[in-house]
């Protein structure tokens, strides 16, 4: 069973993503911020991380970079309400395997998580491809 660590400073966003992860039949753990995610990553040993970009204390892109240093094979899907082009590019350069724009659409999140888990992360950060940030036309959260 895949393990997903959900990183977001908003408890309600973690709950939404956790519901999707559990619906997929996967195990979910949570971290309330980037610093916490970095601190517990090697303890939790997730197969996949979802990471909000905008968080206090340590933003998601900084946390992503630290996770990739800890584990070059880490699979991280970035999530943000601000899907500015530069954030997508910066996330991919830092090693993200995908990017999801808020509001979260259940089917888009499921698809991104399933694709991320199936991907090989043998390419170094900055060479990893990314997908469109355009959400699918399904129910949103």
Burial bucket for residue 122 (CB in 10 Å: 0-12, 13-18, 19+)? exposed
For 44-82, the pLDDT digits (tens) are 999 999 999 989 899 999 999 999 999 999 999 999 876
Q: When comparing pLDDT for 124 and 15, which is higher?
A: 15
Q: b/e for 77-98, b at 16 or more Cβ within 10 A?
A: bbbbeebeeebbebbbbbbbbb
Q: What is the pLDDT at residue 86?
A: 83
In degrees, rounded to 5, the angle at the alpha carbon of residue 103 between the alpha carbons of residues 58 and 76 is 45
Phi, psi angles (nearest 5°) of residue 107: -65, -35
Helix (H) or strand (E) holding 69: helix 60-70
pLDDT band, residue 1 (cuts 50/70/90): very high
- Going along the chain from its start, the domains and CATH numbers come out as 3-102 (3.40.50.2300)
CA distance 107 to 132: 14
- Name the pTM for this structure: 0.83
For 14-26, the pLDDT digits (tens) are 999 999 999 999 9
For 30-53, the pLDDT digits (tens) are 999 999 999 999 999 999 999 999
């Amino acid at each position: 069973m895949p393990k997903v660590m959900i990183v977001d400073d908003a408890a309600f966003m973690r709950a939404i993503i956790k519901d999707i992860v559990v619906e997929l039949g996967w195990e979910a753990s949570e971290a309330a911020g980037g610093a916490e995610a970095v601190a517990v990553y090697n303890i939790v040993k997730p197969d996949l991380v979802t990471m909000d970009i905008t968080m206090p204390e340590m933003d998601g892109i900084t946390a992503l970079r630290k996770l990739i240093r800890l584990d070059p094979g880490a699979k991280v899907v970035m999530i943000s309400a601000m899907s500015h082009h530069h954030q997508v590019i910066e996330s991919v350069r830092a090693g993200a395997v995908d990017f999801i724009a808020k509001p979260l659409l259940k089917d888009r999140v499921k698809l991104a998580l399933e694709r991320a888990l199936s991907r090989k992360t043998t390419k170094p950060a900055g060479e990893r491809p990314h997908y469109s940030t355009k959400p699918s036309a399904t129910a949103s959260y």
